[in-house]
Amino acid sequence: MGGGGTNEKFELVITRRPNYSGLGLRGLPINRPEREKLSSMLVKIESAVHNRHTMPIEDMRDILTEVSQLQFEFPRHKLEGLFDVVNEKLHASIECENIYCIEVLLECLRLMSARNVKAEQKYSELSLVAQGVARDVMRVLNMDPRLDDNELNQLLDGALGEAKRIGMRGEVIDVAITLKMMRNNLLQEMQSRAAQSEEEDGDALAIGAAFEEDNTKSTNVYDDKFDQYVDMPVEELGLTSEVEANLGVHPYNTNYIVVANLTVNYLRKNLKEA
């Protein structure tokens, strides 16, 4: 372009803005495989928008991750529907204070180079609560020596209750839930054993009382039915010389000091003879 008798050259450079992925300028989908991939992604996005109420937010994040990794420029306006869905779910997640959902949905926005300031503020707020929960869980897992068993149990229950309230997930929470399940199973087993022991003790007492009552009625040493045997000698009782007389005579005449001094083998022999 010339003017004023001098020759000046003007160079016009047109550049395209970097896309939402932050990876810089990429080419358009020109070849057939790229066009097919684009069509496939558009179908996935349309399906996600259509099934917005049933599709897991993790699946939406996977779709956006796949879009960000494409080797060609993806048309940004095609993400508007999914952008609206993510913000709708973010609003609901903020209302119920679910830190996990907020984290996943903020990641979805990041993949679209977008932000939601209110959601970020809520996430920061809930992160402080989550840090306290993690700290309490670790105190329980490490068996804090400053706390007794009851205090550790209360700390575990309180931490897991708060974790459930804000929708926390992760390995520490999984370990804490497993620990709580093991503790509850142990307590239930101990309670079951205690109940069974009480039942057995009750049965034993009932049997003992019945035996004592029956014994009082039928085998009392002063019962007339058995008084006839009190003065009978061993020979008339039918005992052999191999049997200790004190094990066979009427209890009224038994010499218990002799019985107490008998050996186990001798008692077994008498039992066999009897």
85: Cα separation from own chain's centroid: 32
Instruction: Give the pair of three-digit tokens for residue 87.
Output: 């913000």
pTM value is: 0.59
Question: For 40-67, what is the mean pLDDT?
Answer: 94
Summarize pLDDT for 169-212 with one digit per residue, the tens: 888 788 888 888 888 887 777 777 777 766 666 665 665 565 55
* pLDDT at position 25 over 80: no
pLDDT digits (tens, 9 = 90+) for 55-74: 999 999 999 999 999 988 89
Provide mean pLDDT across the span 12-26.
Answer: 52
What is the predicted pLDDT for the residue at 2? Answer: 45
CA distances 143 to 116, 149, 155, 177, Å, are: 40, 9, 11, 16
* pLDDT tens figures, 208-256: 565 555 544 444 444 555 556 666 666 666 655 556 666 666 666 667 6
Top pLDDT among 43 and 219 is at: 43
